[in-house]
């Protein structure tokens, strides 16, 4: 949540100082570092936490992973950034390649931050974990904005600031983690941990890859400025999914700790409540979007099209609830290997759909087509999650009532695409949706009370 809040504070200033085209370059840098932070970590953060708690050597071995992993990240990031001039122009034509290179460096810094945080997560050091998270969220954009304000405004200067900020945060994260336990350095153990953690990388890469790949596609098809508009729409619209992921931090343990014979009923009931949260989030978003998107996007948002596009992205939250309900069962079964196939496949199908729709739609609505990538991705993920639950030998979640709520959520998001230029009718539709949600909640509450009294 912290990165989103900081971006909401800093982005309005950045877009106004840089303008639409230069902000498009910043959007490229952001998409690159989000992707690089996952790819360069090599799946080690998960293994750091796991082996700190379960393996012989415990935290000493885990901080050894952090030390060696940080070296590997630095070497890999330097190699990729150093060759950005050869591959960057093909992916992001018209963008300063220093922007791309600094995005890779920033991603390397963020990857190291996640390694250090993995130790603190295992140790239960909440204050230290949150402090480093806040440092990594605040420092890079603040340094970038400072460089832009004191010199010639450019995407390159802002991207350099991002890289410097993340490298400082990385140094702090490593220092705090190795102070917790002296590193037990073993290249053999680290390589073994990488081999175990690496299969999870394709699954983790899918979401950041969506933005990076689509940025590259939109720059080719519509230009850097339109890519910047898309990044603003995705950044704001995906806040719904981000909040639902935070809700899932409480939902997942509840499902996993439920007795096996009660889990299906509990999952069915709780799914309705989480679906109601999604309805509230999407309804609130489409009401606020006409004001928030122009405020944050500034010159990068030329008309109301990014507002509508962000509503399309917000709709992904409805499908994400269905995915989360079933993915709990997949992790309970322990058969997670299909995720390495299903998630990249869903990403590939979604990107193909988005690019084709962006090309097929009239040019003035191409941004709507591009942002369809996000709801389509989560729709494919939701459909696949039912099969994944069966692969794990468990019955998929019963989402009958939740599906009704999620259907209303989709209607609320879709009407925003049509009616946002007419705020009155958009408010009316959202009000009706809120009334429907309240009635459903009362019905479910009475049904729950009858079951409890019986």
Residue 154 sits at φ, ψ, to 5 deg, of -160, 155
pLDDT category at 7 given cuts 50, 70, 90 is low
Contact between 103 and 159 under an 8 Å Cβ cutoff? The reply is yes
Of 424, 448, 308, the residue nearest 366 (C-alpha): 308
- Contacts of residue 398, defined as CB under 8 A and 6 or more positions apart, other chains included, come to 264, 267, 268, 271
CA 325 to chain centre: 18
Contact between 227 and 24 under an 8 Å Cβ cutoff? The reply is yes
Of 434, 406, 206, the residue nearest 321 (C-alpha): 406
CA 269 to chain centre: 26
CA distance 120 to 180: 8
| Separation in Å, CA 300 to CA 88, 142, 267 | 23, 20, 42
Q: Tell me which long-range contacts 392-395 makes (C-beta under 8 A, separation of at least 24).
A: 392/329, 392/330, 392/332, 392/333, 392/334, 392/335, 393/333, 393/335, 394/329, 394/332, 394/333, 395/264
H/E element, 2: helix 2-39
CA distance 120 to 173: 9
Higher pLDDT, 7 or 66: 66
> pTM of this prediction?
0.80
| Separation in Å, CA 32 to CA 110, 139, 163, 367, 375 | 12, 18, 12, 20, 21
Percentage of residues in the chain having pLDDT higher than 70: 90
Range 172-186 average pLDDT: 91
CA distance 283 to 167: 38
pLDDT value of residue 451:
46
Contact between 300 and 363 under an 8 Å Cβ cutoff? The reply is no
Q: Which of 88-92, 244-248, 415-419 has the highest mean pLDDT?
A: 88-92
- pLDDT tens digits for range 285-320: 988 888 888 888 877 776 788 899 999 999 999 999
pLDDT category at 175 given cuts 50, 70, 90 is very high
Task: Spell out a b/e string for 307-338, using b for 16 or more CB atoms within 10 Å of the CB, else e.
Answer: bbbbbbbbbbbbbbbbbbbbbbbbebeebbeb
Of 22, 59, 61, 404, the residue nearest 224 (C-alpha): 22
Residue 261: CB atoms within 10 Å: 7
Residue 398: CB atoms within 10 Å: 15
């Amino acid at each position: 949540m912290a990165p989103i809040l900081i971006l909401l504070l800093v982005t309005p200033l950045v877009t106004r100082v840089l303008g639409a085209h230069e902000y498009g370059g910043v959007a490229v840098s952001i998409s690159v570092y989000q992707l690089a932070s996952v790819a360069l970590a090599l799946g080690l953060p998960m293994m750091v936490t796991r082996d700190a708690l379960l393996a012989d050597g415990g935290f000493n071995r885990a901080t050894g992973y952090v030390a060696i992993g940080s070296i590997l990240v630095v070497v890999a990031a330097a190699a990729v950034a150093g060759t950005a001039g050869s591959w960057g122009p093909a992916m992001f034509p018209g963008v300063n390649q220093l922007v791309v290179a600094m995005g890779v460096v920033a991603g390397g810094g963020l990857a190291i931050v996640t390694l250090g945080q993995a130790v603190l997560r295992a140790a239960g050091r909440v204050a230290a974990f949150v402090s480093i998270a806040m440092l990594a969220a605040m420092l890079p954009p603040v340094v970038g904005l400072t460089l832009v304000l004191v010199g010639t405004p450019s995407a390159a200067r802002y991207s350099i600031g991002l890289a410097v900020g993340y490298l400082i945060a990385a140094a702090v994260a490593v220092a705090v983690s190795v102070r917790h336990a002296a590193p037990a350095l073993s290249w053999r153990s680290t390589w073994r941990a990488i081999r175990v953690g690496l299969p999870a990388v394709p699954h983790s890469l899918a979401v950041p890859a969506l933005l990076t790949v689509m940025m590259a596609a939109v720059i080719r098809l519509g230009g850097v400025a339109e890519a910047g508009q898309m990044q603003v729409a995705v950044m704001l619209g995906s806040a719904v999914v981000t909040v639902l992921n935070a809700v899932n931090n409480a939902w997942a343990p509840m499902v996993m700790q439920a007795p096996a014979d009660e889990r299906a009923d509990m999952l069915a009931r709780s799914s309705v409540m989480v679906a109601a949260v999604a309805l509230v989030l999407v309804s609130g978003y489409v009401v606020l979007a006409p004001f928030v998107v122009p405020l944050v996007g500034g010159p990068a948002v030329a008309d109301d099209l990014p507002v509508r596009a962000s509503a399309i992205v917000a709709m992904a939250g409805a499908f994400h609830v269905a995915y989360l309900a079933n993915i709990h069962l997949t992790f309970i079964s322990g058969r997670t290997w299909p995720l390495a196939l299903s998630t990249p496949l869903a990403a590939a199908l979604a990107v193909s759909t988005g690019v084709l729709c962006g090309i097929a739609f009239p040019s003035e609505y191409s941004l709507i087509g591009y942002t369809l990538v996000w709801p389509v991705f989560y729709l494919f993920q939701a459909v696949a999650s039912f099969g994944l639950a069966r692969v794990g030998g468990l019955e998929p979640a019963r989402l009958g009532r939740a599906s009704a709520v999620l259907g209303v959520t989709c209607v609320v998001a879709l009407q925003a695409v049509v009616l946002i230029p007419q705020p009155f009718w958009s408010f009316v539709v959202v009000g009706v949706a809120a009334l429907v949600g309240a009635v459903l909640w009362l019905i479910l509450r009475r049904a729950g009370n009858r079951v409890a009294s019986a």
